[in-house]
């Protein structure tokens, strides 16, 4: 059974949620690049989610996550990421806006200069987050460092709860069933706009990291019975269980809406085809193709995409046009998931864009 966009909105409206953004975000055609590439290229500006000056895809997730935290009476919210994490910063402002104390554990991939705090980390401080830096151990991968930070956060939560506090522990990227609801709503919004424009998209491109946005998009696409091919471009190394985990998030989010069952899941692991061919040489490490993609979009359409996430996804889109993976004349939408603060971060993250 498929649902209309109106029915999807009605089901989402029954769940705890707090208003954080300005929606709908713009959807429009990129005329110059469309002519240059030979496709109909549209962009969905989820970098404009608001109400913080620096929006992004996490805002949609946090509407449900912070909504749930408020409904449960939480006075602390914990989350995790790299030092310049967009998700951590957006969680911090969303919590602060709602009177909840934000606590963040940040893996220090890039060395921290206390005399020159920049970008998202600066915003974290302005919003009065309690910040804990986790330095990588010798020979330790980013994922290993993050795993240590999760355990430290869990111990911290136990101490606070023993004192009578109520805490919510939000995973990296807000990637759980509740957070994934945000992009069931996001893709519903996108299809409402596309229907109004009379456009049926062949392909949707976006950057993926923790997988919650991808899970929500796939859940929404299947819920609405649409045929758009979703191509999720990874900003980091992904494991063999990535698609399976994302499917569980999709179905878990749908279950919160009262849809589906374990015996008849609406989303399967085979629905996903995340592409990890464009993140090298590593997470938060720029590459030449991404730098070229950033400059092309900036000089033709005046739009900035960051070198960590959306820039790598956009470089994949350009390569797919070049190699014929996107056929000439196709209707393609690129979902811009934010990250502009990286342009004010460390040189190691920014790369050679100037």
Q: Which two tokens stand for residue 343?
A: 């342009």
Neighbour order of strands in the sheet with 27-29: 27-29, 40-45, 331-336, 203-208, 229-234
Instruction: With cut-offs at 50, 70 and 90, classify the pLDDT of residue 175.
Output: very high
pLDDT reading at 321 higher than 80? yes
Contacts of 290 (CB under 8 A, 6+ apart): 278, 307, 311, 312, 314, 315, 351
Q: How open is the CA angle 168-309-141, to the nearest 5 degrees?
A: 70
CATH for the 63-167 domain, from 3.40.50.1460, 3.30.530.20, 3.40.50.1100, 3.20.20.80: 3.40.50.1100
Other beta carbons within 10 angstroms of residue 322's beta carbon come to 10
Q: What's the whole-model pTM score? A: 0.95
Contacts of 56 (CB under 8 A, 6+ apart): 46, 47, 49, 86, 90, 337, 338, 339
Q: Which two tokens stand for residue 21?
A: 């953004």
| Burial class, 171, CB count within 10 angstroms (exposed 0-12 / middle 13-18 / buried 19+) | middle
Do residues 314 and 295 touch, judged by C-beta distance below 8 A?
no
Let me know if 85 is a catalytic residue: yes
> What does the pLDDT read at residue 174?
96
> What does the pLDDT read at residue 206?
98
Give the residue extent of every domain in the chain.
Answer: 5-56+175-350, 63-167
Handedness of CA 1, 190, 39, 246 (dihedral sign): negative
**Which spans in the chain are helix H?**
5-12, 31-37, 58-71, 86-97, 119-126, 142-162, 177-197, 212-224, 242-256, 288-301, 310-323, 347-350
Q: Are both 5-56+175-350 and 63-167 of the same fold?
A: yes
Residue count of the chain: 354
pLDDT digits (tens, 9 = 90+) for 111-132: 788 888 999 999 999 999 999 9
pLDDT digits (tens, 9 = 90+) for 49-62: 988 888 899 999 99
Angstrom distance (rounded) from CA 171 to CA 211: 11
Domain 5-56+175-350 matching CATH 3.65.10.10: the answer reads no
Other beta carbons within 10 angstroms of residue 354's beta carbon come to 8
Phi-psi region for residue 5, left (φ > 0), alpha (ψ -120 to 50) or beta? alpha
Lowest mean pLDDT, pick from 9-18, 158-167, 275-284: 275-284
Give the pLDDT mean for 42-47: 97
Handedness of CA 163, 165, 122, 292 (dihedral sign): positive
> What does the pLDDT read at residue 89?
95
pLDDT reading at 27 higher than 80? yes
Q: Which of 34, 51, 85, 250 is catalytic?
A: 85
Instruction: With cut-offs at 50, 70 and 90, classify the pLDDT of residue 350.
Output: confident
Identify the residue with better confidence: 260 or 156. Answer: 156
pLDDT digits (tens, 9 = 90+) for 179-217: 999 999 999 999 999 999 999 999 999 999 999 999 999
């Amino acid at each position: 059974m498929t649902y209309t966009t109106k029915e999807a909105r009605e089901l989402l409206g029954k769940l705890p949620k707090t208003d954080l953004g300005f929606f709908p975000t713009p959807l429009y055609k990129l005329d110059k690049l469309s002519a240059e590439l030979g496709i109909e290229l549209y962009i969905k500006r989820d970098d404009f989610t608001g109400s913080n000056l620096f929006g992004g895809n996490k805002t949609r997730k946090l509407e449900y996550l912070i909504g749930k935290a408020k409904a449960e009476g939480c006075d602390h919210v914990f989350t995790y990421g790299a030092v310049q994490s967009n998700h951590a910063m957006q969680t911090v402002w969303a919590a602060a806006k709602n009177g909840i104390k934000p606590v963040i554990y940040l893996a220090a991939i890039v060395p921290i200069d206390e005399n020159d705090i920049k970008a998202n980390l600066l915003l974290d401080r302005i919003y009065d987050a309690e910040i804990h830096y986790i330095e990588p151990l010798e020979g330790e991968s980013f994922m290993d460092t993050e795993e240590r930070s999760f355990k430290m956060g869990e111990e911290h939560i136990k101490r606070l709860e023993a004192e009578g506090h109520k805490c919510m522990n939000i995973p990296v990227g807000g990637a759980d069933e509740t957070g994934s609801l945000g992009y069931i709503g996001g893709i519903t919004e996108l299809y409402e706009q596309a229907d109004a424009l009379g456009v049926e998209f062949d392909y949707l491109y976006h950057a993926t990291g923790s997988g919650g946005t991808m899970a929500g998009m796939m859940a929404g696409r299947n819920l609405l019975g649409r045929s758009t091919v979703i191509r999720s471009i990874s900003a980091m190394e992904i494991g063999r269980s990535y698609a399976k985990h994302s499917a569980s998030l999709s179905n878990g989010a749908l279950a919160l809406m009262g849809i589906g069952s374990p015996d008849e899941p609406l989303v399967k692991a085979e629905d996903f085809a995340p592409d990890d061919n464009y993140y090298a040489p590593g997470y938060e490490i720029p590459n030449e193709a991404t730098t070229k993609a950033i400059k092309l979009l900036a000089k033709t359409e005046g739009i900035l995409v960051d070198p960590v996430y959306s820039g790598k996804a956009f470089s994949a889109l350009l390569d797919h046009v070049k190699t014929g993976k996107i056929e000439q004349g196709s209707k393609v939408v690129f979902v811009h998931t934010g990250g502009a603060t990286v342009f004010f971060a460390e040189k190691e993250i920014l790369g050679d864009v100037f």
